[in-house]
């Protein structure tokens, strides 16, 4: 069995759901990732690659063809899509340690051609940092919030902004917060109504949820014309 027999690429996903397929690199060998990118090249397709660690990236034959970000561990393969503004999505990171997850969301949105505003280090340990930027955050109809430890920030934002809030619990923390389960439990148990929650460290999933919201709003607006 060849390496290419191990995968089936979903080139029709955009037509079905409006989102392109992404390549999840974790657990794949460099040879498998190269084979996927070679198959994409044959079709003239683009790909977003997620969870591509620097060591695996360095071992790829296609590494010089990738727009790679080591912070978010994402890569773009193929022609870049122009990012159009204005930004309609705010990505809020509670602390600097949450930035890699926030950047994964930002890069996912950029790959799809959507501008986003990244606002970092506004966690609840210093609420003045949040309050001085709250009007900037409120200007966006969708807010993605990445927070670890006790993950209190999504609940605070849920009580302050009118837009959709998508919480991303992160694995940042130690002791009972280690691994992100405390953060996940906190946002699932939030008393702020209407907060959506994705899995631990899932910046990609949060960005896709934000895109689905914007796509739905656009279709509704077009249908009402």
Higher pLDDT, 41 or 218: 41
pLDDT digits (tens, 9 = 90+) for 162-210: 999 999 999 999 999 999 999 999 999 999 999 999 999 999 999 999 9
Radius of gyration of the chain (CA): 18
What end-to-end distance do the CA atoms of the chain give, in Å? 53
What is the b/e burial string over 106-126, where b = at least 16 CB atoms within 10 angstroms of the residue's CB? bbbbbbbebebbbbbbbbbee
The CB density around residue 135, as the number of other CB atoms within 10 Å, is 9
SS3 at position 91: strand
Class of residue 205 by CB neighbours under 10 A (exposed 0-12, middle 13-18, buried 19+)? middle
Residue 1: pLDDT over 50: no
């Amino acid at each position: 069995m060849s390496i290419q027999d191990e995968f089936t690429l979903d080139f029709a996903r955009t037509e079905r759901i409006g989102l392109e397929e992404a390549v999840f690199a974790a657990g794949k060998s460099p040879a498998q990732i190269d084979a996927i990118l070679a198959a994409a090249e044959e079709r003239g397709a683009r790909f977003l690659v997620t969870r591509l660690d620097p060591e695996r990236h360095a071992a790829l034959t296609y590494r010089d063809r990738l727009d790679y970000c080591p912070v978010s561990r994402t890569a773009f393969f193929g022609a870049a899509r122009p990012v159009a503004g204005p930004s309609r999505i705010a990505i809020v990171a509670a602390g600097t340690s949450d930035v890699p997850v926030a950047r994964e969301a930002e890069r996912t949105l950029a790959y799809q051609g959507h501008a986003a505003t990244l606002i970092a280090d506004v966690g609840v340990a210093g609420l003045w940092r949040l309050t001085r930027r709250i009007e900037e955050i409120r200007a966006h109809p969708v807010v993605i919030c990445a927070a670890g430890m006790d993950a209190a920030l999504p609940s605070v934002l849920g009580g302050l902004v009118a837009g959709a809030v998508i919480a991303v619990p992160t694995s940042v923390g130690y002791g009972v917060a280690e691994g992100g389960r405390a953060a996940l439990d906190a946002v699932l148990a939030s008393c702020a109504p209407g907060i959506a929650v994705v899995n631990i460290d899932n910046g990609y999933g949060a960005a896709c949820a934000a895109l689905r919201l914007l796509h739905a709003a656009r279709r509704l607006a077009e249908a009402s014309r």
